[in-house]
C-alpha cells in the first residue's frame, strides 16, 4: 500500500531563533512519517541557545539547525504555513497556490525570560512554551484541518 505524500509545513516566526525552531524540531521528532517540516523567519536572529537546551532536555536535538530567512524557502510550495508569533502573522507575505496559512501564536520565551532572576526561572518559560508547541505538533495534521 502506498503511503500518502508528506504534508509540507513551514513554521514561521519573527527571527527563526526559538518558537519556529522548536516546532520544526518537534515535527521532525514526532511526525517525520507524515510531515516534512521547515522553519524560517521574517528576519534571522540566530539559534537561541536556551531553546536548544530545553529541547535537548526533552530528547530533541536542534543544535544543528540554523536561523533561516523566509526568502531562502520561497521556491518551495508548502501545504501549510503556520505563523507561531503575532509579528510574523502580521507581516507574513502572500503564498500563492494551494498554501493554507494558519496562525497559532505562542508566548515569546526570550521576552518572558528578560525579567527572570535566575537561569532556572528563565528556562521555565522556555519549557512551558516548548511543551505547548509539542502538544500542538502532536495533534498535527488533524488539528490543521478546519482551522483555516
pLDDT in tens, 20-60: 999 999 999 999 999 999 999 989 999 999 999 999 999 99
Cβ 37 vs Cβ 24: under 8 Å: yes
d(CA 121, CA 6): 38
Q: Measured in whole angstroms, how far is the alpha carbon of residue 127 from the centre of its chain?
A: 14
Active-site choice (92, 100, 102, 113)? 92
Name the band, by pLDDT with cuts 50, 70 and 90, for residue 92.
low
18 part of the active site = no
The class level of CATH for 7-141 reads alpha beta
Active-site choice (9, 13, 27, 137)? 13
Q: What percent of the chain has pLDDT over 70?
A: 95
User: Could you read off the pLDDT of 100-134 as tens digits, one per residue?
Assistant: 989 999 999 999 999 999 999 999 999 999 999 99
As given in the structure block, the three cell numbers for residue 35 are 510531515
**pTM metric for this prediction:** 0.93
Amino acid at each position: 500500500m502506498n503511503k500518502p505524500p508528506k504534508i509540507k509545513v513551514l513554521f514561521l516566526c519573527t527571527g527563526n531563533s526559538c518558537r519556529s525552531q522548536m516546532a520544526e524540531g518537534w515535527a521532525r521528532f514526532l511526525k517525520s512519517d507524515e510531515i516534512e517540516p521547515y522553519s524560517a523567519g521574517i528576519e534571522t536572529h540566530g539559534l537561541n541557545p536556551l531553546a536548544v537546551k530545553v529541547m535537548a532536555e526533552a530528547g530533541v536535538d536542534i543544535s544543528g539547525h540554523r536561523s533561516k530567512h523566509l526568502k531562502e524557502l520561497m521556491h518551495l510550495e508548502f501545504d501549510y504555513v503556520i505563523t507561531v508569533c503575532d509579528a510574523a502573522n502580521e507581516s507574513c507575505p502572500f503564498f500563492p497556490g494551494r498554501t493554507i496559512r494558519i496562525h497559532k501564536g505562542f508566548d515569546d520565551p526570550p521576552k518572558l525570560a528578560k525579567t527572570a532572576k535566575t537561569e532556572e526561572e528563565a528556562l521555565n518559560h522556555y519549557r512551558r512554551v516548548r511543551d505547548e508547541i509539542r502538544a500542538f505538533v502532536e495533534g498535527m495534521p488533524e488539528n490543521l484541518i478546519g482551522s483555516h
